[in-house]
C-alpha cells in the first residue's frame, strides 16, 4: 500500500524574507493537519514521499550524481558519531543533487549503514524519475532533492508521516494526554540540548495508565533552538489528532517524535517522569492542544477524515503561498558586464564586487603593461604580477589565462568569497577588473611572497627561526578558525598548502587562493563531490578517496603544513611521492620514541624549546589522523597552541599514506601543483 504524505514542493532558502517564511510555515501546518491521513504500514515496509520539483531521465547526469552520493553517504553516516551525513550541491545545476541521511539515535553503525544502503536501493525505484524524494524506515531516513534544502532557517522539506495506534485509554483520557504531552516536551527539551539532537524517555505517573516510552530526534546540524522549534511545530500540528491513543509517531525530514506503551528503544533512556498514583500530571507546553476523550477500539490505524468543503480553500491557500514564495535566481547586469549568481549572497555580494571595480588602464600602468620583469609567479590559472598604484601602494595582480576554462570558475568563486572575508591572516582583495576580456583580481602585496619559496629554499629558510615559525603556525590556525567558525560565512578552503600562504613584511601569514573554496551552511557538516581537486600530499584521505570534504579536511591540510614548517621538509617530491609516507610516518615514529628534536629543521641549530616543539608536533599529528572525527576543530587547535596547560590527546599513527604505499589514485599527480580527478 502506498503511504500518504503531505507535500509542498516549494520551500524558501536563506535569502527569502521573514514574512515569506512565516507565510510558508502557516501553509505547511495547514497542509499537514488537513491532508496527512494515517494508514497502516504493511509488513514493516518503508514509507516514501515523491516530490514534484522535476524528473530525471534513466541515463541522466542527475542519476549519476545520485549514485555517487549513494556510494558515500551510508558509510559517512554510519561512521559519524551522530549517525548523520549530508551531501550538498553535488553536480551542476540543473542536475545538482543534495541529500540527507539520518539513522535513529539508538541504532548501531552496522545497522545504520545497512538501513541507508537499502534506502538508496529502494527510493529511486519507489519514486521513479523523481528528483525530490524521501523514504522513512523505522531506523533511518533518507531525503534527496534537486533543490538546496540544507539550511537552518526554519524552512525545510515538509514531507510528514503520521501513524497512530487506535487503542485508547479508558480512564481519564484527557489526563493521559497531559502525561504524553509532558513526556514529549521533556524529551524534546533534552534532545535539543544534546549534540546528537536525540533523546529517549519514559513516564509512569499512574498505575491506571500503561507506561509510556518516548523518542525525540532532530538532524544534528540544527541548532538547539531550531531543533526545539521543529519538534514544537510537528507536535502542535499533529498531537491533538492522536487523542488518547496509546501510541503514535510523526516523522519529518528534519525532526521526529514517537511515543508507545511498549518499549521500542534499544538504547538508554535519558528522560524519566514519574509520580505517586493519583498525582496530577505536569502541564504540557502551550503548543500542545487537548482533545476530547474517546473509547477503546481494535488495534488498527484510522484515516483522518477531511471535510470536502475545505479542499478548495486549502488548495487556494497553498497556490497563493507557492506563487509568493517561488523565486528564480537571476543574473545581475551592469552595462556589458554580467555577474552570475555567486554562492555568497546574490545581489548583496555583487554590490560589494561593484564597489571594487578597477579600470584596466590603471592596472596596465601599475604593472608596466604586465611586464615580464614584474611577474611574481605563474600557476594553472595564469600569472601574478607586482604593481604599484599612483598612491605608492604595492599590489599583486592575478591575471586569468584566457585559455583556462577552469580558471574562470575559480575566479568567480574567489571574487564572491574574498570580497566578504576580512581577517588579518587572510589576504585582502583590493579590486576587480573585468574589462577588455581581461579577468583580474587585485590583492594586497606580500613582500615575502609565499611560504614555500622561503621554507624550502636552502638559503632563505635560515630567516625562519623558531619564533617566526611558531608565529606562522599560529597565524594560519587563526585564519582557519575565522574561515570555519568566526566569519559570517563558513568556508572550507580545500587547497591549503605552503604556496597558498603569503608572508607580509613582518612574516605574518595570510591564507590566499580561494578558487577551490566552498561555502557551508552554518551547521552543515560536510560536502561531497565526485570531482576531487586539490594538491596531493595535502588532501585528507576521505576527500582524496571518496570526495568528502569538510572543515576537518582543511584541518588535515593544516597538520601537514605544520609538519613541513617544523621540519623544513616537503610532504612530497615532484618526481617521487614516496616522501609523503616518509614525512608523516617519520615524524610520528620520532614523536612516539621521544626524539622530536631530531625532526626539527637543522638550520635552526637546536635553538628552540623542545617542549614547545613536541607540543606542536603532537598537535600536528592530531590534525592528520585518518578519521576526521579524531581531528580537532581549529578553535581547539588555537587554544592548544596558545596554552601549555591544555592537555592533549595521544595521536595514533597516521596510516593513510602507508596503506596506499604513498601512491596517488589513478589520474592524480604527485607533484606540488593543483590536480583533479573524477571519482566513480
Could you say which of 495, 521, 601, 626 is catalytic? 495
Active site residue 495: yes
CA-closest candidate to residue 555, choices 545, 571, 542: 542
CA-closest candidate to residue 250, choices 262, 268, 236: 236
Contacts of 89 (CB under 8 A, 6+ apart): 96, 97, 98, 148, 527
Phi and psi, residue 193, nearest 5° = -85, -10
- Enumerate the known binding-site residues: 398
CA-closest candidate to residue 73, choices 50, 49, 100, 46: 100
165 vs 294: CA distance, rounded Å? 13
Phi and psi, residue 77, nearest 5° = -65, -45
547 vs 532: CA distance, rounded Å? 6
393 vs 511: CA distance, rounded Å? 20
Q: Specify whether the CB–CB gap between 74 and 116 falls below 8 A.
A: yes
- In sequence order, what DSSP letters do the residues of 265-316 get, joined into one string? --S---EEEE--TTPPPPPPPTT-----------SS--PPP--TTHHHHHHH
Bridge partners for 379 per DSSP: 382
538 vs 385: CA distance, rounded Å? 26
- Enumerate the known binding-site residues for ATP: 398
Residues in the chain: 680
441 vs 429: CA distance, rounded Å? 7
- Bridging pattern class, strands 245-252 and 255-260: antiparallel
Q: Specify whether the CB–CB gap between 515 and 381 falls below 8 A.
A: yes
Catalytic residues: 495
Amino acid at each position: 500500500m502506498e503511504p500518504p504524505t503531505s507535500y509542498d514542493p516549494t520551500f524558501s532558502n536563506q535569502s527569502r524574507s521573514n514574512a515569506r517564511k512565516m507565510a510558508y510555515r502557516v501553509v505547511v501546518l495547514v497542509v499537514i493537519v488537513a491532508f496527512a491521513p494515517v494508514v497502516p504500514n504493511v509488513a514493516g515496509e518503508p514509507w516514501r514521499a515523491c516530490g514534484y520539483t522535476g524528473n530525471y531521465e534513466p541515463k541522466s547526469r542527475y542519476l549519476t550524481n545520485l549514485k555517487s552520493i549513494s556510494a558515500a553517504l551510508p558509510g559517512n553516516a554510519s561512521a559519524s558519531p551522530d549517525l548523520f551525513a549530508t551531501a550538498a550541491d553535488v553536480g551542476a545545476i540543473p542536475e545538482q543533487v543534495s541529500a540527507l541521511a539520518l539513522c535513529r539515535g539508538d541504532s548501531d553503525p552496522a545497522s545504520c549503514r545497512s538501513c541507508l544502503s537499502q534506502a538508496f536501493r529502494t527510493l529511486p525505484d519507489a519514486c521513479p524519475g523523481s528528483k525530490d524524494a524521501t523514504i522513512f524506515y523505522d531506523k533511518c531516513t533518507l531525503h534527496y532533492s534537486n533543490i538546496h534544502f540544507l539550511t537552518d532557517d526554519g524552512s525545510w522539506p515538509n514531507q510528514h508521516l503520521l501513524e497512530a495506534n487506535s487503542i485508547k485509554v479508558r480512564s481519564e483520557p484527557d489526563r493521559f494526554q497531559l502525561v504524553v504531552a509532558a513526556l514529549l516536551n521533556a524529551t524534546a527539551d533534552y534532545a535539543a540540548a544534546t549534540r546528537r539532537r536525540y533523546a529517549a524517555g519514559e513516564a509512569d505517573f499512574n498505575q491506571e495508565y500503561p507506561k509510556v516510552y518516548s523518542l525525540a530526534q532532530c538532524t544534528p546540524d540544527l541548532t538547539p533552538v531550531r531543533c526545539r522549534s521543529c519538534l514544537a511545530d510537528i507536535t502542535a500540528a499533529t498531537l491533538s489528532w492522536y487523542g488518547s491513543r496509546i501510541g503514535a509517531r510523526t516523522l519529518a525530514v528534519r525532526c521526529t517524535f514517537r511515543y508507545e506503551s511498549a518499549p521500542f528503544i534499544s538504547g538508554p533512556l535519558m528522560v524519566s517522569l514519574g509520580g505517586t498514583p493519583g498525582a496530577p500530571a505536569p502541564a504540557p507546553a502551550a503548543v500542545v492542544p487537548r482533545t476530547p476523550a474517546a473509547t477503546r477500539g481494535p488495534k488498527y490505524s484510522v484515516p483522518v477524515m477531511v471535510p470536502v468543503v475545505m479542499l478548495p480553500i486549502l488548495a487556494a491557500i497553498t497556490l497563493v503561498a507557492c506563487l509568493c514564495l517561488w523565486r528564480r535566481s537571476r543574473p545581475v547586469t551592469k552595462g556589458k558586464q554580467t555577474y552570475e549568481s555567486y554562492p555568497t549572497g546574490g545581489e548583496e555580494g555583487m554590490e560589494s564586487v561593484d564597489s571594487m571595480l578597477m579600470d584596466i588602464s590603471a592596472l596596465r600602468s601599475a604593472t608596466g603593461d604586465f611586464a615580464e620583469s614584474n611577474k611574481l609567479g605563474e600557476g594553472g590559472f595564469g600569472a601574478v604580477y607586482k604593481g604599484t598604484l599612483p598612491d605608492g601602494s604595492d599590489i599583486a595582480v592575478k591575471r586569468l589565462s584566457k585559455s583556462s576554462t577552469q580558471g574562470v570558475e575559480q575566479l568567480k568563486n574567489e571574487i564572491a568569497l574574498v570580497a566578504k572575508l576580512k581577517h588579518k591572516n587572510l589576504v585582502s582583495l583590493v579590486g576587480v577588473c573585468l574589462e577588455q576580456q581581461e579577468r583580474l583580481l587585485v590583492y594586497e602585496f606580500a613582500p615575502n611572497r609565499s611560504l614555500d619559496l622561503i621554507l624550502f629554499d636552502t638559503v632563505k629558510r635560515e630567516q625562519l627561526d623558531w619564533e617566526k615559525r611558531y608565529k606562522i603556525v599560529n597565524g594560519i590556525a587563526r585564519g582557519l578558525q575565522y574561515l570555519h567558525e568566526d566569519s559570517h560565512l563558513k568556508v572550507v578552503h580545500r587547497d591549503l598548502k605552503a604556496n597558498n600562504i603569503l608572508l607580509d613584511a613582518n612574516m605574518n601569514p595570510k591564507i590566499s587562493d580561494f578558487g577551490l573554496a566552498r561555502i557551508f551552511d552554518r551547521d552543515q557538516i560536510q560536502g561531497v563531490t565526485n570531482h576531487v581537486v586539490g594538491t596531493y600530499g595535502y588532501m585528507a584521505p576521505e576527500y582524496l578517496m571518496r570526495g568528502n570534504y569538510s572543515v576537518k579536511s582543511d584541518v588535515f591540510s593544516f597538520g601537514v603544513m605544520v609538519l613541513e614548517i617544523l621540519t623544513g621538509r616537503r610532504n612530497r617530491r615532484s618526481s617521487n611521492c614516496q616522501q609523503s609516507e616518509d614525512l608523516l610516518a617519520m615524524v610520528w615514529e620520532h614523536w612516539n620514541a621521544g626524539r622530536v628534536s631530531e625532526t626539527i629543521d637543522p638550520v635552526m641549530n637546536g635553538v628552540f624549546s623542545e617542549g614547545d616543539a613536541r607540543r606542536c608536533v603532537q598537535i600536528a599529528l592530531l590534525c592528520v589522523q585518518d578519521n576526521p572525527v579524531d581531528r580537532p576543530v581549529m578553535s581547539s587547535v588555537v587554544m592548544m597552541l596558545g596554552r601549555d596547560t591544555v592537555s592533549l590527546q595521544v595521536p595514533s599513527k597516521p596510516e593513510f599514506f602507508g596503506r596506499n604505499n604513498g601512491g596517488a589514485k589513478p589520474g592524480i599527480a604527485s607533484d606540488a601543483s593543483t590536480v583533479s580527478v573524477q571519482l566513480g
